[in-house]
Amino acid sequence: MNIFKHLAPRKCGFRGVMKSCRDACNSFLHSSPTTSVEVHSQEQEVVIALGSNVGDRLHNFNEALQLMKKSGIHITRHGCLYETEPAYVTDQPLFLNSAVRGITKLGPQELLGVLKKIEKDLGRTDGIRYGPRPIDLDILFYGKFKINSETLTIPHERIWERVFVMAPLMDLLGSAIDSDTVASWHSLSVHSGGLFGSWEKLGGESLIGKDGLKRVLPVGNRLWDWSERTSVMGILNLTPDSFSDGGKFQSVEAAVSQVRLMVSEGADIIDLGAQSTRPMASRFSAEEELDRLIPVLEAVLKMPEVEGKLLSVDTFYSQVASEAVSKGAHLVNDVSGGQLDSNIFSVVAGLGVPYVAMHMRGDPSTMQNSENLQYDDVCKEVASELYLRVNDAELSGIPAWRIIIDPGIGFSKKTEHNLDILMGLPTIRTEIARKSLAVSHAPILIGPSRKRFLGEICDRPAAVERDPATVASVTAGVLGGANIVRVHNVRDNLDAVKLCDAMLKWRSYA
């Protein structure tokens, strides 16, 4: 039964008519539990939950997302990725779970049909209820509608009891309700306080990392739980003009030797950069960057010592990112947050690797210009600008579960701004959470190592003399919530990280 056929969009001035129609529809649906509603006109915002525990779970997710897009579902937000213990039928493999928000012109029954077809195309059979499955796609919300038919119930009837559904659902929200539709989802909760109240009733954020619910980031061939300990990223500069060690590691032999040293000292990630991003640095072409990078990357990948380590490529060029990942790099670290190559978001989305989005205004040659150094509240403004870049990345197909954020210490920042950021990482998370809880949960990377502001404060003009100050800044950052530290001196900073992690763990037990 079609209640809406060609409903006029809001901008045409028929708000009163629309409201009356919707009220009538909702009243009709409440009184007729076997009736479905089809909406064939304006776009509706929907939430779809994803689960998989058979085969390559992440591949199943990626394929499902691509098929959804091709079927007329425009995905606008992604939740975090969770590895969860199975519910109801417990003798089966661990699940991956997440959820997405999107907009579609498909009616509810049409949408259900599309999702069922995707499940079938990806190998799902009827099987046992709540049993193993390559992909499970459930409609949690459809616009502002309540639907109760023989084939479809919206909101999904078991949202409120399933932690593995509620966690990614909450990720799709911001602490500030962002639309009338989202506000209506809160009102549909069976508990007081809306969705937030339902989530808190289950246990809320305290559940993450416990009771079979881990928030993870897929990288390489693993699912990384970054909450377990802070990771150390060792810097390998392959440029002649980097501010700290330019020219030292341009030969393949010297670069390999440095990687061997950093790995022996405990580095978790090696970040290879063949383009200097120091203030006033000249920009090299992607081709020249590749000429420096690829021979070293190929040599490093052959080293037995790097087995189990992650390799990152520090670049803002999509071409370099693509070539490096095709050779074996595991993640892309973009200091420009997508501002210096318009193709990098779509390219990284296709590569399927984690993406580090850093905050910077301008480019390395202009980032310290006066107009790029004006802030009223640096933490709030960095958070806002960084979120906009990440949102663009998401709309281009990079899920929130593959995003790492970097506030850009030293990039378009004065000394006092860098200090504010080191002390204000919780504020940055809180400000981002107002827009997207998923992005606010992303790992934070900081890179204060040997930066100029440390030399100014400590009167150390030579970059290599700034390691003690780097250790202090890393300590402040980790205690404030940083998950990855990018450093030149791995050994000393790893000691600082271990101590910070021990203190944080002890505090959580106290």
Map out the domains of the chain as residue ranges: 39-216, 226-509
Amino acid letter, 491: R
pLDDT at 41 over 90: no
Per residue in 259-306, pLDDT (tens digit) is 999 999 999 999 999 987 777 667 889 999 999 999 999 999 999 999
State the residue for tokens 């080191």: 422
| Residue 12 CA, distance from chain mean position | 37
- With contact defined as beta carbons under 8 Å apart, do 482 and 429 qualify? no
Would residue 101 show up in a list of annotated catalytic residues for this protein? no
451 is catalytic: yes
Dihedral sign computed on CA atoms, order 300, 302, 308, 314: positive
CA–chain centroid gap for 464, Å, is 33
What is the predicted pLDDT for the residue at 81?
98
> Do 253 and 260 touch, CB atoms closer than 8 A?
no
User: What is the predicted pLDDT for the residue at 68?
Assistant: 97
Q: Quick one: pLDDT at residue 17?
A: 37
Instruction: List the helix and strand counts (H, then E) for the chain.
Output: 17, 17
Average pLDDT score over the chain: 89
pLDDT at 19 over 70: no
Report the range of poorest mean pLDDT among 8-22, 59-73, 144-158: 8-22
pLDDT in the model for residue 244: 55
Segment (H or E) for 141 = strand 136-142
Question: What does the pLDDT look like over 208-267, one tens digit per residue?
Answer: 988 789 999 999 889 999 999 999 999 999 987 555 555 577 789 999 999 999 999 999
Catalytic residue among 162, 215, 450, 486: 486
- In angstroms, the first-to-last Cα distance of the chain is 59
Per annotation, catalytic residue among 101, 451, 452, 466? 451
How many residues are present in the chain?
A: 510
CATH number belonging to the domain at 39-216, selected among 3.40.50.620, 3.30.70.560, 3.20.19.10, 3.40.50.10800 = 3.30.70.560
Three-state secondary structure call for residue 21: helix
92 pLDDT more than 90: no
**The CATH classification of domain 226-509, taken from the options 3.30.420.40, 3.40.50.300, 3.40.50.2000, 3.20.20.20:** 3.20.20.20
- Name the pairing type of β-strands 231-237 and 136-142: unpaired
355-358 and 403-406 beta bridge pairing: parallel
pLDDT tens, position by position, 367-405 = 999 999 999 999 999 999 999 999 999 999 999 999 999
